[in-house]
Amino acid sequence: MQASESGPLMRLERVAKTFPNGAVVLRGVDLEIERGKVHGLLGANGAGKSTLIKILSGAFPASGGRIVWKGSPVQWSTPKEANAMGVATIHQHIPLVLTLSVLENVFLGDEGRWRRGGAYRRRFEDLCERVGYWLEPDRLVGELSIGQRQMVAIFQALGTGADLIVMDEPTASLAAGERELVYRTVRRLSRVENKAILFVSHFLDEVMALTDCVTILRDGQAVMRAQTSELDETRIAEAIVGRQIVAMERSALDRTPAQRRADGPALLELCNLASPGKLHPISLKLAAGEVIGVAGLLGSGRSELLHAIFGADPDALGEVKVSGRTTGRSTQAAVKAGLAMVPEDRMRQGLVPDFEIWRNTTLPALESVSILRWLPMRDRERKRAADAIRRLQIKAQSPDTLVTELSGGNAQKVTIGKWLFSDVKVFLLDEPTAGIDIGAKTDILMLVRELAAAGKSVIVVSSEFEELLAVSDRILVMRDGRCIAERAAYETSEHELILLAGGQSALSSPAAGTGAQPNT
């Protein structure tokens, strides 16, 4: 619509949202989104970002204010209506159909039942060429990694021909190479194709590098609107949390070598742990109170290592010992031995979405809140959930809140919190801070430190190498299913880890001894 070129593509005027339970989430937000611009939307978990996105994409009705689209007020009652008018939304929890193919998912919104014909394949090939990324069109989405699913969602949005593309944490679970692919795609869409992009992210460096302007929400209000060129990461972080932050992840989590302990008795021991086609043999000793970080790019074998340790890989070979005792090769045996797993995909693998906080919190240890160890008592379960909410500072109205109603950071705290009341000796954390804000991220990393101080052992997988450097004692580098290097965290750098993970030559000789045995 050419008439819209002279003004904002979309304008939100005093948009408010109050839910039936009385919760006030948005308190009159103004927002202007222009063609050819990447507009960053930032804020802590619970600030109102997700609700605002759902309103402008037609999923929620606003309680007040109005939306002006291409110069005219609109009232969308469903996402389908908004999509038909030119608004496509890529949500943080990717709503793809796992049992359908890539091709079928990309064109899922098209009318008709047959989406495998030649015309659709040609459209799909055009998308691949346009983005510069190839996906096998007939492969089931359920077989893809989270990073690949994110690319399917981007293809799906592009396939609608939308004028405004809303991206909610599109890079949260991606490796560095795939993030750059998303960045390149976003730049092309905005600068070459004149699309408007609303980009939600917790990565301040990518916000600075990618966006033209930003709006920051806090407690349901827009507390900052500015051109990105006028800001720096410190000012953005301060606006997000409402207090001064100076390199929070570095300074708050920094430890000296004298505080790091890797010479105690082995709490976890891996003996030639392997999985055919996925993980080459690795041997490792992890001391009580020690934190080991696992660095590597997407597909390097990081998650496969944790799954093999936790007994979730039926093909795994080798031996896993906890406190000197060999564990059985099942998740039940792993939990009984004292292992806890926090998976990368928290909603699909770590939580029961239809359950409240209290039901999720007590799942691993129902016996301890039951009469005669078999009849769960709701009052005990709710009290335990309340303890977890208080201890982890989970933002929720009550233990009865469904986990699907929580922000990403608070849902992740529930995923971790459910293990805190069990006799866990070793925590396995797979991307525990993916897709959460800087405040919740620091809370979780500090919790890792607290667990180690209490004598627990922790293995942390993260795509954010700076986080691994801040919280770990040692760091293993994975590539192609192999542990190719080990470093003391205080003796390495983000630069070296990136080089190692990317296949460059090591900058110093791998550590040996009781740690992981690198496979070269």
Instruction: Answer yes or no: is 343 within a domain.
Output: no
Question: What share of the chain in percent tops pLDDT 70?
Answer: 83
Question: Are 100 and 236 found together in one domain?
Answer: yes
Domain boundary among 422, 438, 454: 422
With residue 81 as reference, give the H or E element that holds it.
Answer: helix 79-85
Instruction: Answer yes or no: is 238 within a domain.
Output: yes
Instruction: Answer yes or no: is 346 within a domain.
Output: no
Instruction: Answer yes or no: is 272 within a domain.
Output: yes
Give the pLDDT confidence score for residue 110 in this predicted structure.
Answer: 73
In angstroms, the CA 265 to CA 181 distance is 44
Question: Are 295 and 332 found together in one domain?
Answer: yes
| Whether 239 contacts 219, CB under 8 Å | no
* 394 vs 175 pLDDT, higher one: 394
Question: Are 8 and 36 found together in one domain?
Answer: yes
Question: Are 416 and 428 found together in one domain?
Answer: no
Question: Are 26 and 79 found together in one domain?
Answer: yes
Instruction: Answer yes or no: is 97 within a domain.
Output: yes
Domain count, the chain: 3
Question: Are 214 and 280 found together in one domain?
Answer: no
Q: What CATH number corresponds to the domain at position 272? A: 3.40.50.300
Handedness of CA 387, 388, 393, 396 (dihedral sign): negative
Question: Are 163 and 56 found together in one domain?
Answer: yes
Characterize 324-341 residue by residue with b for buried, 16 or more Cβ atoms within 10 angstroms of its Cβ, and e for exposed. Answer: eeebebeeeebbebbbbb
Q: 403 lies in which domain range?
A: 353-422
Instruction: Answer yes or no: is 373 within a domain.
Output: yes
Give the pLDDT confidence score for residue 384 in this predicted structure.
Answer: 77
Question: Are 230 and 86 found together in one domain?
Answer: yes
**Tens digit of pLDDT for each residue in 41-67?**
998 767 889 899 999 999 999 999 999
Highest mean predicted confidence (pLDDT) among 226-230, 243-247, 382-386, 497-501? 226-230
Q: What is the mean pLDDT of residues 385-406?
A: 81
Using alpha carbons only, give the angle 187, 193, 199 rounded to the nearest 5 degrees.
45
State yes or no: pLDDT of 250 exceeds 60.
no
State yes or no: pLDDT of 237 exceeds 80.
no
**Tens digit of pLDDT for each residue in 139-168?**
999 888 777 888 888 888 888 889 999 998
Instruction: Answer yes or no: is 107 within a domain.
Output: yes
452 HSE (CA, 13 A, CB side) = 27
Question: Are 99 and 216 found together in one domain?
Answer: yes
Give the pLDDT confidence score for residue 93 in this predicted structure.
Answer: 67
Q: What is the mean pLDDT of residues 97-126?
A: 81
Domain boundary among 422, 446, 461: 422
Instruction: Answer yes or no: is 347 within a domain.
Output: no
Q: What is the mean pLDDT of the chain?
A: 82
In angstroms, the CA 5 to CA 7 distance is 6
Question: Are 282 and 139 found together in one domain?
Answer: no
Question: Are 239 and 265 found together in one domain?
Answer: no
Q: What is the mean pLDDT of residues 356-364?
A: 75
Question: Are 202 and 256 found together in one domain?
Answer: no
